[in-house]
Structure 1
Amino acid sequence: MLKELVVNAAEHETRVALLENGTIAELFIEQDDESNITGNIYKGKIQRVLPGMQAAFVDIGLAQAAFLYVDDIYDETSQELARRFEQESDADPNDPDLKPVDDTPIPMEWKPSFTTEASIEDLVTEGQEILVQISKSPIGTKGPRVTAHISLPGRFMVLMPTVDHVGISKRITADSERTRLKELLTSVRQDNFGYIFRTAAQGIDEQRLKKEIAFLTKTWESIQKKNKTSAAPTLLYRDLTVTFRAVRDLLTDEADKLVIDSKIGYESVLSFLDKLMPDIHVSVELYQGKEPIFDAYNIEGDITRALKKKVWLKSGGYIIIDPTEALVAIDVNTGRYVGKHNFDETILKTNLEAVKEIAYQIRLRNIGGIIIIDFIDMKRTQHKEKVMNLLIETLKRDKAQTNVLPLSELGLVQMTRKRVRKNLTRTLCEPCFYCGGDGMLLSKRSICYKIHRDLMSEANDIMGNMFTVKVHPEIAQLLHGEQEHLIISLEREIRRPITIYPDPQYHIEEYHIFETLAK
């Protein structure tokens, strides 16, 4: 499979698209704000301790306080944290949503990943300074989540200075290579830090391993030195930009080529590769076409479609992706597809086609947390098994950790996907200024009826001898036309004239009733 990284670098925003056979599979966006801070390390100050939640809020200098759970500061849990992380590939070792070894359900964010007997008030006090790392960027109304278990990712390894443990990516499957890596680390290791070998470490020699350890150790020592001389709250370490993270984490392992449209960015990538990854040989190209790079690679249209609620399937069916505060609901419908043979086969084909699109959209949109999929009801057990097997197999392409529960009697699939950063919709969109994010408005007829009810109610309390109602022009047109009988009958009943006044500045649901005295 041909994989490419396409980078659109602008002064205010950088976008990195991972293409698989020419189709966008993942999108990473970094804008000129403080929303993409995962991996940053701060010297914070305990702002408030919450015994009832076994957590604390930490002031790290951002608009929102960070959330620190008790298990993220209790030293005795470090070994358990590392044990779970060893089951992952190149995941974040600080993420509380890692899949446990025993395959128990994944706990959702803001909840403990495992329990301890420690109490939060025994571990931290208000005003205490603490070194923390962002494990989850702020999402919506939730502030960032932080952990005191620091992790510093390199090209080949992840350094975990609070954990005395060695782990190896599950993508390195050969027992001989796993044994070799552990023995090699044992021979060169001079500290009791924890290390996780990443997938790229396969085949690494002793010299490169020593350089990697020295680089990560020096970075950690620099952070500690700055921590001793800085006052809280302050930023001690900033993770790489989205372009360099893509180079470090995806290039060679996930992609074979990088194309970037910025000359400065192009030179920076070459310099980064020369300093930190001199031994690899990949294609890095400077895009010089007249057409914008994302248009040239047909990416812009895919991004636009990924922001829509309705996604059409090739057969004529469609899926609806509807995010809520607590979860994301995905509904499958046959739409225009009527099938060629029988009803059961039509449903099966639609569900199978929907599975591939759902897995693709989840990854592209970076949908995380709880996901509920409502497939079209299937009667045959073999059809249900076929759909579930395809869903599980298709989700394996996703680097993010997922956990899928069996199909319920109602035809629903419950699943979770690890959430670290904001999804595509939250990154690029904001609530509609007109509907306030509700997604719905009162119908014009309902607004007219509501005005009628309010006029009836106020007619008994207001002493004026006439009313003026200011409304949106479309409502005024309706009250002077199709719904004019409402005003005529009301004038007759309250025995006072009513004047409808259009105001183009009004929201369509907005109106005001004024009493006036006739001269």
Structure 2
Amino acid sequence: MLKEIIVSEDDYESRAALLENKVLAELFIERKSERYILGNIYKGRVTSVLPGMQAAFVDIGLDRNAFLHVSDVAHHLEEFDDFDDTIKEENKSSEQKKNEHKKADHPSIRDLLKKGQEVLVQIDKEPMDTKGPRVTAYITLPGRYLVYMPTVEHIGVSRKIEDDAERQRLKELIEKIRPNKNQGFIVRTAAAGKGEDEFRSDIKFLMDHWEKINQRSINAPAPSLIHEDLGLIYRVIRDIFTQEVSQFLIDSKTEYDRILEFLDSLLPALKNKVKLYDKEEPIFEFYGIEKQIKKALRQKIWLKSGGHIIINQTEALVSIDVNTGKYVGKENADETILKTNIEAVSEIARQLRLRDLGGIIIVDFIDMDKEEHKNKVLKTMEEALKRDRSRTNILQITDLGLVEMTRQRTKPSLGSMLCEPCPYCQGDGIVLSQESTSISILREIKAVCAKYNEKHIKVFASPPVADRLMEEYKEGIKELELRLNTKISVAEDPDLHIE
């Protein structure tokens, strides 16, 4: 697979696109006017403890207090099983999967935190809508090959590394070379096949970094910012720029020079892949990325077969509906449905990554009668989601063809970042039809005449509604004029909303 990273940098935004075979797979955006805090570490002060919610609110110096749940204060090692799970997902029974999601028993939040107590926390989720950020007391510092966990004694291996022998080798190697047995590490996907030298270098860098953060936090007041994570471009380099990427292209000479300097100490072997884009045409236009971003904001996505999927994002969940559309197939109905569902799976997996949709997701596949077809769709979906860097969990397909799943959400989705509610419908997605609005106006005329006995009523309406009143309701208006003994005139006002 051809992988490319395309970066656009201007006075307003930093944008980075991951292309897979020229198709937009992931998009990262950071605006200069907004403050991104995911991964930042703060020294905060507990403002309130809520036993009923098993949570506390912490003042970290931002506009809104941060939310700290008991599970982010008192850990259980099974919470890190998402990284270290040698049982293959497909070999787990449905009962095992259910048990993984039962809430762990935690001590009371009152036994762990007190009002006024100072705590060191890290941003786990960006603020969203009216909610403040979510924080955790379990600090994680990502390096190139390892994630350092100074407060946890666990060694984990990314689930994306599937080979059992390699997982065991990595785990034993980190256990052997970690300097402090009371601190933990997670082996990242990029570490597959790497040796002791790379890990020792990463461990030294991360532990030195933590020592500086820890020292800074001792004398800092609460609340205060202790550590700020890297900017977008450098997070992309750290997290997804690997040897598999054929080129890293950027349109800013200033950032190009900084990247080369950054790679000198971190990843010198990748410097030759970094190129400066110097054409007149904007880089995202040249690579067709702008068009793909616009498509990613649409509700309906057409499939090559003629079928389509419809994605609706609400505050509670994301619903995805699969339809055959124009596709009728050459085989029987069962095969047509299966083919559409299978084709939809790869597009759904791509859209989840691209739009960064998280939380609860319900996929309504076209109903399948055969159990083997349902299993095939589910298996295909599990495979398609393996490329997703965010944690996902898929439950069984129901008799109605519904698949429930969850996807890790750490920041607002692409749609939430780039769009805002329609000023006409206030985000409802619907407005009154022209006919309904016209009828409502005629009723209002009756009410006004009955109350005020007006002799002349002038109606101002949006052009389409005014046209409908003057054409389709022309006779009805004449009858009203005779019945109410009043003159009714209609005028267009292009500034008026349809309702």
**TM-score, length-scaled by structure 2:** 0.89
Provide the residue aligned with 2:154 in structure 1: 165
Partner AA of 1:55 in structure 2? A
2:105 counterpart (116, 136, 139): 116
Deviation, 1:274, is 0.8
Superposition pairs of residues 51-450 of structure 1, within 5 angstroms:
51-74=51-74, 77=75, 79-87=77-85, 102-104=96-98, 114-170=103-159, 171=161, 173=163, 175=165, 178-179=168-169, 182-183=172-173, 185-187=175-177, 189-190=179-180, 192-202=182-192, 204=194, 206-252=196-242, 255-278=245-268, 283-450=273-440
Contact 1:105 1:403 in 2 (8 A): no
Deviation, 1:346, is 2.2
CA distance in structure 2 between the aligned counterparts of 1:246 and 1:33, rounded to whole angstroms? 20
Deviation, 1:18, is 1.5
CA distance in structure 2 between the aligned counterparts of 1:27 and 1:216, rounded to whole angstroms? 27
CA-based RMSD: 2.9
Contact 2:83 2:157 in 1 (8 A): no
Deviation, 1:394, is 1.7
Partner AA of 1:366 in structure 2? D
Contact 1:400 1:418 in 2 (8 A): yes
Contact 1:51 1:121 in 2 (8 A): yes
Partner AA of 1:86 in structure 2? D
Q: 1:181 to 1:32 in 2, by over 3 A?
A: same
After alignment, is 391-400 or 172-181 more displaced? Answer: 172-181
CA distance in structure 1 between the aligned counterparts of 2:55 and 2:448, rounded to whole angstroms? 51
Partner AA of 1:340 in structure 2? K
Provide the residue aligned with 2:89 in structure 1: none
SS at match of 2:182: coil
Contact 2:263 2:271 in 1 (8 A): no
Contact 1:78 1:163 in 2 (8 A): no
SS at match of 2:396: coil
Deviation, 1:348, is 2.2
Q: 1:190 to 1:347 in 2, by over 3 A?
A: closer
Provide the residue aligned with 2:4 in structure 1: 4
After alignment, is 129-138 or 167-176 more displaced? Answer: 167-176
Give CA deviations for 1:188-209 in whole Å, capped at 9, x if unaligned: 5046222222233445555544
2:23 is the alignment partner of 1:23: yes
Partner AA of 2:110 in structure 1? E
SS at match of 1:38: coil
Partner AA of 2:363 in structure 1? I
Contact 2:82 2:158 in 1 (8 A): no
Deviation, 1:250, is 1.3
CA distance in structure 2 between the aligned counterparts of 1:33 and 1:122, rounded to whole angstroms? 40
Contact 1:106 1:416 in 2 (8 A): no
Partner AA of 2:109 in structure 1? I
CA distance in structure 2 between the aligned counterparts of 1:496 and 1:343, rounded to whole angstroms? 62
Deviation, 1:379, is 2.5
SS at match of 2:397: coil
CA distance in structure 2 between the aligned counterparts of 1:313 and 1:27, rounded to whole angstroms? 21
CA distance in structure 1 between the aligned counterparts of 2:170 and 2:472, rounded to whole angstroms? 82
Contact 1:356 1:394 in 2 (8 A): yes
Partner AA of 1:474 in structure 2? P
Deviation, 1:78, is 5.1
CA distance in structure 1 between the aligned counterparts of 2:117 and 2:452, rounded to whole angstroms? 60
Give CA deviations for 1:19-45 in whole Å, capped at 9, x if unaligned: 222222222222224463211112223
Contact 1:87 1:101 in 2 (8 A): no
Deviation, 1:323, is 1.4
Partner AA of 1:275 in structure 2? S
Q: 1:500 to 1:65 in 2, by over 3 A?
A: farther
SS at match of 1:39: coil
Deviation, 1:239, is 1.0
Contact 2:155 2:174 in 1 (8 A): no
Provide the residue aligned with 1:39 in structure 2: 39
Give CA deviations for 1:220-257 in whole Å, capped at 9, x if unaligned: 23223332333333322111112111111112265243
CA distance in structure 2 between the aligned counterparts of 1:355 and 1:196, rounded to whole angstroms? 30
Deviation, 1:495, is 4.1
Contact 2:46 2:56 in 1 (8 A): yes
CA distance in structure 2 between the aligned counterparts of 1:418 and 1:17, rounded to whole angstroms? 20
Task: Give the % identical residues.
Answer: 48
Deviation, 1:163, is 1.0
CA distance in structure 2 between the aligned counterparts of 1:64 and 1:481, rounded to whole angstroms? 54
Partner AA of 1:19 in structure 2? L
Deviation, 1:468, is 4.6
The structure carrying a bigger helix percent of its residues is 2
CA distance in structure 1 between the aligned counterparts of 2:423 and 2:77, rounded to whole angstroms? 48
**TM-score, length-scaled by structure 1:** 0.85
CA distance in structure 1 between the aligned counterparts of 2:343 and 2:177, rounded to whole angstroms? 51
Q: 1:398 to 1:324 in 2, by over 3 A?
A: same
Q: 1:202 to 1:359 in 2, by over 3 A?
A: closer
Give CA deviations for 1:294-345 in whole Å, capped at 9, x if unaligned: 2222222222211111111112111111212211111122222222233332
The count of residues paired between Structure 1 and Structure 2 equals 491
Structure 1: unaligned runs, 5 residues or longer:
89-99, 108-112, 510-519
CA distance in structure 2 between the aligned counterparts of 1:35 and 1:106, rounded to whole angstroms? 35
Q: 1:194 to 1:341 in 2, by over 3 A?
A: closer
CA distance in structure 1 between the aligned counterparts of 2:190 and 2:64, rounded to whole angstroms? 36
CA distance in structure 2 between the aligned counterparts of 1:13 and 1:411, rounded to whole angstroms? 41
